[in-house]
Structure 1
Amino acid sequence: MTTRWLTPEELRAWRAYLAASWLLEDVIDRQLQQDAGMPHLYYSVLANLSDAPGHQMRMTDLAETLKITRSRLTYVVARLEKDGTVRREGCPTDRRGSVAVLTDAGTALLEHSAPGHVETVRAAVFDHLTPEQVAQLETISTRITEALQGGEERPVCDGLPWRRRSSGAAE
């Protein structure tokens, strides 16, 4: 098989994307650590539970939403449980499954940390884009996600994180 090397334009775009994504994750993570004492992934768990009906989600659905492995989510939720911001309950429709539930303490932490998080995201990303570029960013990001997940065709990668089997994974 012949390697399809990136064109100079593609290479510049790829490197720009990597630089932006790594720096953005660092800026967001540092802000959340400073303001809320938690990394971005923990905040994302709380935010997704806050948006879910009844402030709860099945663990497998939460892993898929966050695009992480079930074992990583299990670790994160266990840490959040120790802090009292999330609790796990049995899934009423599947005895093997479990549900993550946002607690009142988790809601309070989210309400405390959300304004700083939103301001950081706005200052780092959206204040520098036109409305047209925001729409383009959504289109490009959605297309890449669909390609990786196999939206219209075969997925680019095998074994999406939330579908991987590993010992101790949450259902």
Structure 2
Amino acid sequence: MEISTETPWLTPAQQVSWRDYMVGTTALIDQLDRDLRQMHGISLHEYEILVRLSEAEGHAIRMAELAASLSHSRSRITHTISRLEKASYVARGQCSDDGRGVSAVMTDAGYAALREASHTHVEGVHRLLIAQSSDQELEVIGRVFARVLETLNCPRLPA
């Protein structure tokens, strides 16, 4: 792919939309994180790891796959898994398929914590985003970000 040397400056309307997007997504993520921390003592990032583990076969995922699926570095995942281990929400174990890798495995306590926190998280997403949008607007957002993920070669999560 050839990169243009011409700068595609944003129109005033595009600039407003871009800035609203940047500030809005930051504020939304910060509020969802704050709610989970205050009500359940876990971060949004920790919550998302618990969600991924809850959806995985055997509630276990290789650490490298988990890092890739979240678009985070392995060291960031390692630190977060360490915090979740201290809370007894996750344990590390050898990968069952080849014994070489390390998997994060959700514990019963982790599953219980996720069930408890999920109400807070989903209520926040609904109140702060879903209730502010029509079904058509949400479809457009979904289509746009599906293309963004494709352009960035990021895998989409299953519904």
Instruction: Assess same fold via TM > 0.5.
Output: yes
Amino acid at match of 2:119: P
* Gaps in structure 1 of 5+ consecutive residues: 152-171
Deviation at 1:109, TM superposition (A): 0.5
The two structures have a TM-score, normalised by structure 1, of 0.83
Give the corresponding residue for 1:72.
76
Aligned match of 1:57: 61
1:19-168 map, 5 Å = 19-149=23-153
- Of residues 17-26 and 57-66 in structure 1, the stretch that sits farther from structure 2 once superposed is 57-66
**1:28-84 deviation digits (Å, cap 9, x = unpaired):** 011000111011000110111011111111112211221211111011001111111
* C-alpha distance in structure 2 between counterparts of 1:119 and 1:103, whole Å: 24
Shift of 1:150: 6.8
2:20 is aligned, of 9, 16, 38, to: 16
RMSD: 1.5
Give unpaired runs (5+ residues) of structure 2: none
Greater alpha carbon shift after TM alignment, 89-98 vs 55-64: 89-98
Q: Deviations over 1:87-146 (max 9, x none)?
A: 111113344411111000101111111111110110000011111111111111111111
- CA distance in 1: counterparts of 2:73 and 2:10, whole angstroms: 30
TM-score after normalising by structure 2: 0.89
Count of residues in Structure 1 that have an aligned counterpart in Structure 2: 151
